[in-house]
Amino acid sequence: MSEPNMNDIGQRIRRLRRSRRISLRALSDMAALSPSFLSQLERGQTNASIPSLLRITSALGISTGHLLGDETSEVRPERHVDRRPLTSGDYEEYLLSHRPSSNFEVYLGVFRPGGCTWPENVIHGDSEEFCYVISGTVQLYVGDSVVTLGPGDAIEYFTSMPHRAENRGTETATLIWVIGPPTVGRTTPDGRPTPLR
Separation between Cα atoms, residue 155 and residue 147, nearest integer Å:
9
In the chain, % of residues over pLDDT 70: 85
Least confidently predicted of 1-10, 37-46, 78-87, 91-100: 1-10
pLDDT band at 23 (very low <50, low <70, confident <90, very high): confident
pLDDT of residue 113: 97
Q: Which domains does the chain have, with CATH numbers?
A: 3-68 (1.10.260.40), 80-180 (2.60.120.10)
Q: What angle do CA 58, 62, 63 make, to 5 degrees?
A: 90
Q: What is the pTM of this model?
A: 0.64
Residue 3: which pLDDT band, with cuts at 50, 70 and 90? very low
Among residues 58, 88, 59, the alpha carbon closest in space to that of 197 is found at: 88
Closest CA to 24 of 10, 12, 38, 7: 38
- The answer, yes or no, to whether residue 20 has pLDDT greater than 50, is yes
Categorize the per-residue pLDDT at 2 as very low, low, confident or very high, splitting at 50, 70 and 90: very low
pLDDT category, 69, cuts 50, 70, 90? low
The DSSP string of 130-165 is EEEEEES-EEEEETTEEEEE-TT-EEEEETTS-EEE
Helix locations, 20-121, DSSP H: 24-31, 35-42, 50-60, 64-68
